[in-house]
């Protein structure tokens, strides 16, 4: 039995038991397994490059926020992993090279201010297989996103204002870059950029296939 058939049967069983929508459960299961395989690849490559804490900080920050905010996705799990691994390795690498500057302590606040507008305007960003069915659900997801952004910005500001005391500065910077990327993927431009990357990978893979 293929992995796809197994997930479909498992989703159908869970939907019957819980009364939930099969497509939503199937989307969640696929997202979980896709994310797990993506994290394994990210950990291996980031470890080899010596940027594991920074790449993980960016990835975890974006992933946790994405659960509630939504965001742009590729049209296949494989290409979603390729884009995610590539982006978070890049962000981890940049943060590792970035020199510490005192003014960077305001970066989380700047990102949070921009994020407030992005959340109000675009959250929840719906994706195929993860429909937002009611206005109540929209308000709930938006409220959680606001809360997470506020909590993250406070912790990140604290981490950057006390370098080395509680958090390694470059790891906090990587988290800032991860949050900025996730907010970007909520916008129409972000959807176009991710869509372009998806098309590029699809074209490349089809040519090789």
Residue 105 in domain: yes
Residue 123 in domain: yes
Q: Among all chains, which residue has been given the structure tokens 């952004």?
A: 149
Tell me, what's the pLDDT at 19? 67
Residue 182 pLDDT grade (very low, low, confident, very high; cuts 50, 70, 90): very high
Q: How many domains does the chain have?
A: 1
Residue 1 pLDDT grade (very low, low, confident, very high; cuts 50, 70, 90): very low
Residue 95 in domain: yes
Residue 146 in domain: yes
Residue 57 in domain: yes
Between 122 and 127, residue with greater pLDDT: 122
Residue 178 in domain: yes
In this structure, of 34-38, 90-94, 140-144, 173-177, the range with the lowest mean pLDDT score is 34-38
| Structure token pair of residue 5 | 């058939």
CA distance 10 to 7: 5
Task: Please check the confidence at residue 119 and state whether its pLDDT lies above 90.
Answer: yes
CA distance 110 to 63: 20
- The alpha helices in the chain, defined as continuous H runs, are 3-18, 22-49, 52-69, 77-97, 107-122, 135-161, 169-184, 188-208
Provide, rounded to the nearest whole percent, the portion of the chain with pLDDT above 90. 55
Indicate if the alpha-carbon torsion angle 146, 38, 195, 128 is positive or negative: negative
Which residues lie across from 130 on neighbouring strands? 127
Across 170-182, average pLDDT: 96
- Count of C-beta atoms within a 10 Å radius of residue 56: 21
Q: Is 70 left (phi over 0), alpha (psi -120 to 50) or beta?
A: left
pLDDT digits (tens, 9 = 90+) for 26-67: 666 777 777 788 999 999 999 999 999 999 999 999 999 998
Task: Please check the confidence at residue 6 and state whether its pLDDT lies above 60.
Answer: yes
Residue 124 in domain: yes
First to last CA, the chain: 24
Indicate if the alpha-carbon torsion angle 27, 30, 33, 37 is positive or negative: negative
Q: What is the mean pLDDT of the chain?
A: 87
Across 181-207, average pLDDT: 93
Task: Please check the confidence at residue 79 and state whether its pLDDT lies above 80.
Answer: yes
Residue 12 in domain: no
By residue range, what is the domain housing residue 146? 52-208
R_g over Cα of the chain: 18
Between 190 and 161, residue with greater pLDDT: 190
């Amino acid at each position: 039995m293929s992995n796809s058939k197994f997930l479909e049967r498992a989703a159908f069983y869970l939907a019957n038991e819980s009364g939930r929508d099969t497509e939503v459960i199937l989307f969640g299961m696929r997202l979980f397994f896709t994310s797990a395989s993506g994290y394994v690849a990210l950990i291996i490559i980031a470890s080899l490059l010596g940027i594991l804490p920074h790449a993980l900080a960016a990835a975890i920050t974006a992933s946790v926020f994405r659960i509630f905010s939504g965001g742009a996705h590729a049209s296949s799990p494989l290409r979603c992993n390729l884009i995610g691994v590539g982006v978070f390795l890049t962000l981890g690498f940049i943060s590792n090279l970035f020199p510490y500057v005192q003014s960077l302590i305001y970066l989380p606040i700047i990102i949070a201010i921009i994020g407030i507008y992005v959340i109000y305007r675009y959250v929840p960003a719906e994706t195929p297989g993860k429909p937002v069915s009611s206005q109540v659900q929209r308000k709930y997801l938006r409220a959680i996103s606001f809360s997470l952004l506020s909590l993250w910005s406070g912790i990140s500001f604290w981490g950057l204002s006390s370098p080395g005391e509680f958090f390694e500065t470059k790891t906090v910077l990587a988290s800032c870059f991860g949050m900025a990327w996730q907010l970007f993927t909520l916008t129409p431009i972000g959807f176009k950029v991710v869509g372009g990357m998806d098309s590029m990978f699809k074209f490349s893979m089809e040519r090789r296939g």
